[in-house]
Structure 1
Amino acid sequence: MLLHLVHETRYAYSPTVESAHHVLYLRPASHAGQELLSHTLTVSPQPAQRYDQTDVYGNTRTFFSLHTPHDQLTVVAESMVSTLAVPEKPMAGLAWEQVREQFRYQAGGAYDSAGEFVFASPYVPRDEAFAEFARPSFTPGRPLPQAAQHLMERIHTEMVYDSDSTEVGTPALEALQLRKGVCQDFAHILVACCRSMGVPARYVSGYLLTNPAPGQPRLIGCDASHAWASVYCPLSGEGGGMALAVGQNPGVWLDFDPTNNRAPGEDYVTLATGRDFLDVSPMRGVIRGGAHHVLDVAVTVTPIEPD
């Protein structure tokens, strides 16, 4: 599927902002199921400094700074992305307990980069409440893909999507207790539950197709940035253990969207992956001045018919 993306962010400040420094995660990723064909980024007013950099997780981030007073800021990211239909995820595989054991520290064991996603992160703390919620899905001997699938279904069923119930900074534990939230909260809860069981999981930011094909339901989270979770499933039970020895236990990241209770497909676009929202927030920064602001964000993802 060929998709045209426009992500427009507008700030109106009062009083005037004297200077500002911002970082963006608005350049879509390229991976096995997605190819970035073109990308342009327009910032107004014109930045005094701007450059791109690859972060530790392989995402492209853009830094820019403004040194002149301004009462408005507009950032428009426009991209063309080609996506492929995602093969049906395997439901067989290692039992989740085997995966947990692979990521226990073992002196002299092989290093697996996925191990970083077992630990707590700023927006995804370790708490017994997550483990308690996860246990009905992580039953003894259950293959990890099945456990993650069941967990996704339960989050979708037992929680209510309510855009007024949480904010960007709402802790995942609070959202779990409320049993309400938005896509960011649902993704954080799935990630937190998996990590509480010793399984690597990461946060994914991206987009959904704004208008679905005829006869298909309109998904929750379109017209805005979206988020889902990805769970790491090793392909074998050999090796493992997080030690300093160089090595890589082969495995795949399987995506789960608890907001819509489905696996992301060709109608999804991945922006970036990280430990949680804080790693891949589409736009954040530090400003001097502008004590009050009005934010307006518009996202459109439309399919392009081939010639």
Structure 2
Amino acid sequence: MSAFYQIFHDTHYKYDSPVSLAQQLAHLWPRSSPWQRCTEQALEILPEPTTRRDELDVFGNPLTRLAFERPHDELQVNARLRIEVMEKPFLDFNLSPEWEVTRSALTYSAKPMTEDILEACRYRFESPYVHLKRSFVEFSQVCFPPGRPLLLCVQALMEKIFDEFTFDDEATQVATPLVEVLERRRGVCQDFAHLMLACLRSRGLAARYVSGYLLTQPPPGQPRLIGADASHAWVSVFCPASGWVDFDPTNNVQPALEHISLAWGRDFSDVSPLRGVILGGGTHDPDVRVTVMPVSA
């Protein structure tokens, strides 16, 4: 079973004063996987960049590097995608290895590690937005009793975050420390994903941040509004028996056909849809409009 989507991701910057030089990094190409493929893609950029280079970043995500060497007072970046998302095989969480066994497999012991274990280890440590602290271990303590299968533990942690935190898009900013998110019990999908990562990594487990999109449904009787959707974020945890398994703490679900992956890394800083450095510009805020539309095959 598959689902097909047309995605529009439009970003517009209007600067208070001209920008003379700029370097931008765009994570707006979706990566391919066994459960997802991109059949059409286009990236429209105004003004036209002086140079553009498409490559893969260190995590294997498609990355577009843009350089602007002429003055400009606005920037428009429009991504157009057509995606097929395929159904993932069923996983029996009861059959996953005990969480302590998984932690041991990810711990250096002077023995050769398999390639998948080595790859997973890069997602065990601190990153710019995810710090490892005792408070995260204590918060998740009830979810990790001795001998419990790993994926059941992660599912319990996802449910705990969903039950105890309130979605509030005015409670935090991108750089709000996780300890404050934990204290306030409020935030957005990015905060909940970072919190879940901190809880897992603080226990020696490997987990990565997934950036993407989520199909949202309009209120009953209302049409789907163009530009009313948003980027989304969730977590993927490494399980030696199953590979990487996704969890969405914002919605308390295991991502399936309505989740579209864009990129993954250690945290948001690795996979921001568009970020860069500019000379000039004054104050400026992006106007971002995202539309996710189901389409026929």
TM, length-normalised to structure 1: 0.90
1:134, 1:197 within 8 Å by CA — same for their partners in 2?
no
1:272, 1:280 within 8 Å by CA — same for their partners in 2?
yes
Take 1:260 and 1:275, find their aligned partners in 2: how far apart are those partners? 21
What residue in structure 2 maps to residue 246 of structure 1? none
1:210, 1:302 within 8 Å by CA — same for their partners in 2?
no
Q: Kindly indicate whether residue 283 of structure 2 is the aligned counterpart of residue 292 of structure 1.
A: yes
**SS of residue matched to 2:142:** coil
| RMSD of aligned Cα (Å) | 1.7
Take 2:93 and 2:70, find their aligned partners in 1: how far apart are those partners? 55
What residue in structure 2 maps to residue 135 of structure 1? 141
What residue in structure 2 maps to residue 35 of structure 1? 37
Take 1:80 and 1:213, find their aligned partners in 2: how far apart are those partners? 24
Select between 116-125 and 105-114 the one with higher mean Cα deviation.
105-114
What residue in structure 1 maps to residue 121 of structure 2? 115
Q: Kindly indicate whether residue 74 of structure 2 is the aligned counterpart of residue 68 of structure 1.
A: no
Structure 1 residue 105, shift from structure 2 partner: 1.0
Structure 2, unmatched stretches of 5+, are none
Kindly, what percent of the aligned residue pairs are identical? Answer: 45
**SS of residue matched to 2:210:** strand
TM, length-normalised to structure 2: 0.93
**SS of residue matched to 1:74:** strand
Write the letter of the residue equivalent to 1:101.
S
Take 1:128 and 1:291, find their aligned partners in 2: how far apart are those partners? 40
Output one character per residue of 1:80-134: Cα deviation in whole Å (capped at 9) or x when no partner.
1001123333212101011111111111331421011111111111111111111
What residue in structure 2 maps to residue 100 of structure 1? 103
Take 1:285 and 1:267, find their aligned partners in 2: how far apart are those partners? 30
What residue in structure 2 maps to residue 241 of structure 1? none
In structure 2, the CA distance between the partners of 1:180 and 1:224, relative to structure 1 (3 Å rule), is same
Output one character per residue of 1:179-218: Cα deviation in whole Å (capped at 9) or x when no partner.
1110000000111101111110000000011437989xx9
Q: Kindly indicate whether residue 162 of structure 2 is the aligned counterpart of residue 156 of structure 1.
A: yes
1:188, 1:203 within 8 Å by CA — same for their partners in 2?
yes
Q: Kindly indicate whether residue 199 of structure 2 is the aligned counterpart of residue 208 of structure 1.
A: no
Take 1:293 and 1:77, find their aligned partners in 2: how far apart are those partners? 21
Structure 1, unmatched stretches of 5+, are 236-250
Take 2:219 and 2:27, find their aligned partners in 1: how far apart are those partners? 28
Q: 1:1-307 alignment to 2 at 5 Å?
A: 1-92=3-94, 93-111=96-114, 112=117, 113-211=119-217, 223-235=229-241, 251-306=242-297
Structure 1 residue 168, shift from structure 2 partner: 1.2
Take 1:56 and 1:210, find their aligned partners in 2: how far apart are those partners? 31
**SS of residue matched to 2:123:** helix
* Count of aligned residue pairs for this structure pair: 286
**SS of residue matched to 2:88:** coil
